[in-house]
Amino acid sequence: MTKSLRIVSLFLGTVLISHMALSQSDRFAFAVTDLNKEGANWSFLRKVDLQTGAYSEILLSGNDVARLSYDAATKKQMTAPLTDARYGNLANAAFGTGVAAAAYDKRHERLYFTPMFFDQLRYVDLKTMNVYFVNGSDFSGQVIKAADQSNIVTRMVIGDDGNGYALTNDGNHLLRFTTGKKTEVTDLGALVDAAENKGVSVHNSCSSFGGDMIADNDGNLFVLTARNNVFKIEIESKVAAYLGTITGLPANFTTNGAAVDENNTILISSAVTSTSLYTVDPKTWVASAVKSTVVPWHTADLANSNILETRKPVSAPELISSKAALLNDKINLYPNPVTANQFNIQFNRAEGGAYMVQITDARGQVVAQKMVSVNSKGQTIAGIDLPALFAKGIYIVKVNDANSKTVYSNKIVVQ
């Protein structure tokens, strides 16, 4: 009993510390601008005050082709200038070809970014202002950028889990990268349109390219596109749900930068107009102009460490219950999403016996089921087939024991 209480105490302490860290909100955002207020050469880093809308002087001139950067793996300065077949020595410039995607990693004091036409992850060490290149591998795997800019990364954020997330314009490559000593990049694959999107696709160039991305405290990303449309992305399933269009903006306003402020609203910037910065209420997606005497810079991207709080605070009893549920995680389902009408279930620590696997649709109706027999812990039931004409979408997989008690339930995406 004493041991159990100690575990719970440590768990609660960790949660409280995490909550305190998150509550120390940034009152600024990093901003990618031109040298000139209304220019479009996105190679200069500044800060913007979230309350006053005032921009700082240049923090980093990202167009310097003579400045040698550092290798992110060895931490040593590169000794030879880089050249590129298309852009020549512009490959040496930190923000060469312009930047439209950046993310602030407060834990390591780094600003991650990727140039628009170089397929490479890079970061600025904000303590020294040295620039580091993640050499040896491509970032998105889309080295040759399409003429329609569909495979360019224009959205990036650090998630609540500490990992970085980046997204191509067309939504076909959701990338996750680690932010510790060793950078590892994983292509999570293409986003899936939610069934209720009613034709507004996250892959559509007219409605859904460009913009910026923020993260919440419940495992989701939010894409605010250049055309002012909003999509909520569940990271685990990669399902993108269309939430609506930002209202209250001037006709020529394009959302190009987004950052959460200390009031849990979203500051947005435009790369084509200097009318005003705007704050957006995430409950209504209505925008209001920031009251400021300062004319904003045209801004391609914003980045800070604030997370949108969408999950209600959890009480101590609920935390204990959540921890117990975590320790009681007996069953695992994969792959998810399902791409070949077949998935597997691993019974990690479940008791032996007969189990009924049921798949239900959004209305709760059972659309498929299978009885399985488990003989040992860790056993995997491979190849649970779905009907050949199974419709794409989101379903619930339930595992019931011999007493018809549900011992596992999880969403699954069928592509």
205: which DSSP letter?
Answer: H
Q: With residue 317 as reference, give the H or E element that holds it.
A: helix 316-327
- Do 367 and 400 contact (CB within 8 A), yes or no? no
Decide: helix, strand or coil at residue 43.
Answer: coil
Q: Considering only CA atoms, give the Rg of the chain.
A: 23
Q: What is the pLDDT along the chain (415 residues), one digit of tens a residue?
A: 344 444 444 444 444 444 444 446 899 999 999 999 999 999 999 999 999 999 999 999 999 999 999 999 999 999 988 989 999 999 999 999 999 999 999 999 999 999 999 999 999 999 999 999 999 889 999 999 999 999 999 999 999 999 999 999 999 999 999 998 889 999 999 999 999 998 899 999 999 999 999 999 989 999 999 999 999 999 989 999 999 999 999 999 999 999 999 999 999 999 999 889 999 999 999 999 999 888 999 999 999 999 999 976 655 555 444 444 443 467 888 888 888 888 888 887 777 888 888 888 766 778 888 888 888 777 888 888 887 777 778 888 888 888 778 888 888 888 7
The type of residue at 145 is K
Q: How far is CA 214 from the centre of its chain?
A: 7
Closest CA to 289 of 318, 247, 330: 247
pLDDT tens-digit series, residues 255-304:
999 999 999 999 999 999 988 999 999 999 999 999 988 899 999 999 99
* Six token digits for residue 32: 């990618």
Q: Cα(116)–Cα(215) distance, rounded to whole angstroms?
A: 22
Q: Are strands 239-245 and 192-193 parallel, antiparallel or unpaired?
A: parallel
* Six token digits for residue 101: 């995607």
Q: Which residues contact 241 (CB under 8 A, 6 or more apart)?
A: 194, 196, 197, 231, 232, 233, 234
pLDDT value of position 329 = 62
pTM, full prediction: 0.74
Q: With residue 261 as reference, give the H or E element that holds it.
A: none
pLDDT value of position 10 = 43
Q: How far is CA 348 from the centre of its chain?
A: 29
SS (H, E, C) 132-170: EECCCCCCCCCCCCCCCCCCCEEEEEECCCCCEEEEECC
* Six token digits for residue 275: 């009318």
pLDDT value of position 347 = 83
**What DSSP line would sit under 180-199, residue for residue?**
SSS--EEE----EE-GGGTT
Closest CA to 314 of 107, 15, 90: 15
Q: Are strands 278-281 and 266-269 parallel, antiparallel or unpaired?
A: antiparallel
Closest CA to 98 of 118, 83, 127, 80: 118
